[in-house]
Structure 1
Amino acid sequence: MTENPRPLLIGATAADPKRAIFIWNAIRKYFNEVGLEMEYALYSTYDALCSAVLEGHVDIAWNAPMAHAQLLLQSPDACRTLAMRDTDEDVHTLIVARADAGITDLDDLRGRRLALGVDVSSELFLLPVAQLAEAGFDVESDCELVELEPTEYPNLQSWVDDWAIFGAVVDGRADAGVIFEPWLPSLMRRHPVTEHDIVEVWRTRPYSHCAFTAGPDLGDDISARFVELLVAMDPDEPEIAEMMRMEHLTKWVRATDDGWGDLMGAVEKAELVGKIF
């Protein structure tokens, strides 16, 4: 494909509609000004967005890790990774505990209370559980799993998030909890704890998080042009800077499929391929 016959259509979800509209208006304005005509469509869920990608209605999706991994699994060698935020590179999931809990490694965690996310959460369940199993730790038998009340989000999905897990560790309902490392500084600031009160017990291998996923029918030349212009965004331009602040990045970076291998393996092991995005 040497020329896009219509505007490039990028899909995303609208979990936070006000922020999403500002973010995507800024991105659309940028691309149109630099000569790649684009439109965007906001979907209520990743299931709906990824279905639109697989059916050819959306050219590129801005995806959470589970949705991205599922598209790579369901459309191998067709859907592919284009780019991500610099803050999506080499991230980790941690197990943290209060310093006074006497837990410094996985052996100390045996028989203790552990808080996890819901069983379809990529960073708060699937990735850590799979890698803990590799390390000889079975969360079903080697510790006591703490049940936490899920938070219901505006898109009608319910999740046990980092905020609930960290709160349970701080107030003693859990001896340890699984946390997405980039959120840890914010969690520490919002609770009456210092860096001396919380210890890291264990961490996953580094992995990649959110990503732009190319749909099966997107030509290589158009996808290359999209990535070229995306990474060329000027973070010093005020509207771009505000968009990047809202989207938690300082620059866009090129990416390949490599950073999602562990998650894809965990999804396959849990027999979740195609069942949830």
Structure 2
Amino acid sequence: MAAITRRLGHLFLAAILVAGLGMPTAWAGDADILVLGRISDDPSTHYEQLKPLLDYVVPRMAEVGIREGRILMAKDPQQMASYLRRERVDWVTETAGSAAMLAERADARPLLVTERDGESRYHSVFFARTDSGITDIEALQGLRIAFQRSTSTSAYFIPAGQLLRSGAELEILMSPLDTVSSDALAYLFARSELNIATWVHKGLVDVGVMSNLDWENPRRMPAAFKQDMRLIGRSEEFPRALELVRKDLDPKVRTRLREVLLSAADDPQASAALHEFFGTTRFLPVDEEARRELAEVQALVRLVREKVE
């Protein structure tokens, strides 16, 4: 019964925070509290994924004055950027697209690359039905493409930015049945990779896009659909996810947090917490290649925001 009560308390707290009802004033700027943030449309699930790693990290930060950990979720990048600027969040875990926006809007600093399920980098793939006659992404005017959602890195920001760079003009449709301009590429948000695969397979849209990891996942791209599809293009590689910190975080806290996360993969006590943390297998330094890739993601996100949003 006590376990159920604690879980309900966690879920209630997560719901309050993500709803934007604010956080206790005492959190802001408290030197002994480490606040972990996440942009979320599912706060109860994400809270349970974040809490074990935070509980692992906090005791190992005692030498730099950290005594407690808290979680604060935001409904969108704008809200999270505000939290970072106001020093209400210290550490954020996000995908590359959201990380790029937080770096631009709040000067958040990349701390580490996050490897999930053994993959630290991935890319976007474009696909169409084999019998569609579409063989590349160079001339898609007058056609329909399905993205996942407006916050997706691999299934929106990266492919949309790549298309804009190639000269495509994107226009949003409310429904696959809407009329498409002959000189534009119309897009819709399907909300899930499985929906994207289904829409392409059923002919509701002409082209779909998802990450190469989702393309290989039969739960996202069923084998019965995949046999009728062909890949018609891809993006460059980019980081799977990143850990960021606010720009003015105490350097001693930043350094110790980096040390704890880097060594977590070698600590058996961290194994379960890493697994819960979105399938994380280890954290890696932000090397020059990762910085170059993140800069490219930033450029594509900026292009999409300027030309489409």
What range is the shorter-chain TM-score in?
0.7 to 0.9
In the alignment, which of 141, 145, 149 is matched to residue 186 of structure 2?
Answer: 145
1:54, CA displacement in angstroms? Answer: 1.0
Conservation of the 8 A alpha-carbon contact between 2:197 and 2:221: no
Q: Which amino acid in the other structure matches residue 83 of structure 1?
A: L
Conservation of the 8 A alpha-carbon contact between 2:136 and 2:232: yes
Pick 1 or 2: higher relative contact order, CA cutoff 8 A, min separation 6.
1
Q: Which residue of 2 aligns with 1:154?
A: none
In the alignment, which of 292, 296, 300 is matched to residue 262 of structure 1?
Answer: 296
Q: Which residue of 2 aligns with 1:45?
A: 75
Conservation of the 8 A alpha-carbon contact between 1:50 and 1:61: no
Q: Which residue of 1 aligns with 2:162?
A: 131
Q: Which residue of 1 aligns with 2:34?
A: 8
For the pair 1:25 / 2:51, whether they are aligned, the reply is yes
For the pair 1:83 / 2:112, whether they are aligned, the reply is yes
CA RMSD after TM alignment: 3.2
Q: Which amino acid in the other structure matches residue 39 of structure 1?
A: G
Q: Measure the CA separation in 2 of the matches of 1:187 and 1:174.
A: 20
TM-score, length of structure 1 as denominator length: 0.77
Conservation of the 8 A alpha-carbon contact between 2:53 and 2:277: no
Q: Which amino acid in the other structure matches residue 252 of structure 1?
A: F
Distance 1:133 1:48, change over 3 A: closer
Structure 1, unaligned runs of 5 or more? 151-159
Conservation of the 8 A alpha-carbon contact between 2:126 and 2:209: yes
Distance 1:192 1:127, change over 3 A: closer
Q: How many residue pairs were aligned?
A: 259
Q: Measure the CA separation in 1 of the matches of 2:33 and 2:183.
A: 53
Q: Measure the CA separation in 2 of the matches of 1:188 and 1:22.
A: 23
Aligned residue for 2:264, secondary structure, equals: coil
For the pair 1:250 / 2:281, whether they are aligned, the reply is yes
1:230, CA displacement in angstroms? Answer: 0.5
For the pair 1:237 / 2:262, whether they are aligned, the reply is no
Structure number with greater Rg is: 2
Large movers: runs of 4+ above 6 Å: none
Identify the structure with the greater helix proportion.
Answer: 2
Conservation of the 8 A alpha-carbon contact between 1:235 and 1:241: no
Aligned residue for 1:247, secondary structure, equals: coil
Structure 2, unaligned runs of 5 or more? 1-29, 172-181
Which has the larger displacement, 120-129 or 218-227? 120-129
1:236, CA displacement in angstroms? Answer: 7.3
TM-score, length of structure 2 as denominator length: 0.70
Percent identity of the aligned residues?
20
Q: Which residue of 1 aligns with 2:233?
A: 202
